[in-house]
Amino acid sequence: MVTSKTLVVSFAVAALFLLAAGCGDAKPPASSATQSLTLQALVSGFSSPLDLEQPNDSTNRLFVVEQGGRIKIVQNGAVLATAFLDISSKITPGGEMGLLGVTFHPNFSTNGKLYVNYVRTVSGQIQSVIAEYTASPANSNQVNVATERILLTVDQVGNFNNHKAGQLAFGPDGFLYFGLGDGGSGGDPFGHGQDTSTLLGKLMRIDVNSADPGLQYHIPTDNPFAISGGRPEIWAFGFRNPWRFSFDRMGGRLFLADVGQDHFEEIDIVTKGGNFGWNIMEGRHCFNPSSGCNMTGLILPIAEYDHSEGNAVIGGFVYRGSAIPSLQGQYVFGDLGTGKIWTLQETSPNTFTRTLVTDTNATISSFGQDVAGELYLVDIGSGSVSRIVAQ
């Protein structure tokens, strides 16, 4: 069965069901050193927007992913009439499926390559797909669907429509990272989170610039299971639904928001080969069994919150822009159902203080970051994108 903690987008109403997760720590007091934030409307008119990205190509274009299979371009404050990419005929819509994320090759300005994570159905089998496309050399505002090169597909065991994750991002090492959820239903019935023989419930790391025999990509030799013990693509495991993650531009730490089950949402700093606990634990708390679980070798989140404060964590970014100096170095993230936005400030090494900085009316599906380090919010409920600015 699908629990109340499932992220579901309805195309008809452009809204999400609750995806919840919570945190048992007490809500910290507001810090006078933390800047209050607000939203500044940028553009609207999207259908179920899920992601916003900007390549470092000097064009200042923003690219917005619509769950129904299109990527739209925002240029000079307006949405271009023709989609950048339209794979609506390829994807399977509904639930937490569809076109879920995009990222651009570090050399996109010269090679035109971009990478997407989408869900399709083949002969009745639901699959997650990681694919490469190439923008037209003659028109950088268009991608020919025929340029698709599928890097890999992952069968969604059980054919559930939730917990597909969707984020992709290039790390400071130049490798492509992408996440997949545990495959769905509730409670991880197949134990995917702890099973390193499957890519479900994992964060992966691959090299898209070369290929090993029989693969469309290369396995970095320092991946934790590159030799044995698990799927060689895996970088870290023990995740339920790692909906959004990002690298800090200063130092490269990888912050990941993992959506919980019925009680706890969590933020993790991901490390090579780390086991982040699901489905043994939900946040810092035992899940299976509900008490007395074996926590040996598990990495606990740096922050969590419970469902008295929100219901589905949406990961963001460590702020490295210049418009809000007081926010510098703080991790900004939010909650789907409540529209709350918090920061995490590292008050001592590996110790973080969580502060509520604004309570919006938005149905947050994602945050975005431009090349200058300024932040944006994607609102699936209103089909809009806003800038995050100082209040």
- Point out the residues of the chain with pLDDT beneath 50: 1-32
Residues 97-120 pLDDT 10s: 999 999 999 999 999 999 999 999
What is the value of pTM for the model shown? 0.92
- What is the model's pLDDT at position 27? 39
Q: Count the residues in the chain.
A: 391
Q: CA of 38: how far to CAs of 35, 191, 325, 342, 360, in Å?
A: 10, 40, 15, 12, 8
- What is the model's pLDDT at position 26? 37
Residues 362-388 pLDDT 10s: 999 999 999 999 999 999 999 999 999
Nearest to 336 by CA among 3, 36, 6, 1: 6
Judge contact between 370 and 56, C-beta under 8 A.
no
- What is the model's pLDDT at position 33? 58
Residues 11-46 pLDDT 10s: 333 334 333 333 333 334 334 456 799 999 999 999
- What is the model's pLDDT at position 369? 98
Which residue spans within 210-319 are E strands per DSSP? Answer: 234-237, 244-247, 254-258, 264-270, 281-282, 285-286, 303-306, 313-318
Other C-beta atoms closer than 10 Å to the C-beta of 181 total 29
Using CA atoms, how far apart are residues 332 and 358, in angstroms rounded to an integer?
11
Domains (range + CATH), the chain: 8-390 (2.120.10.30)
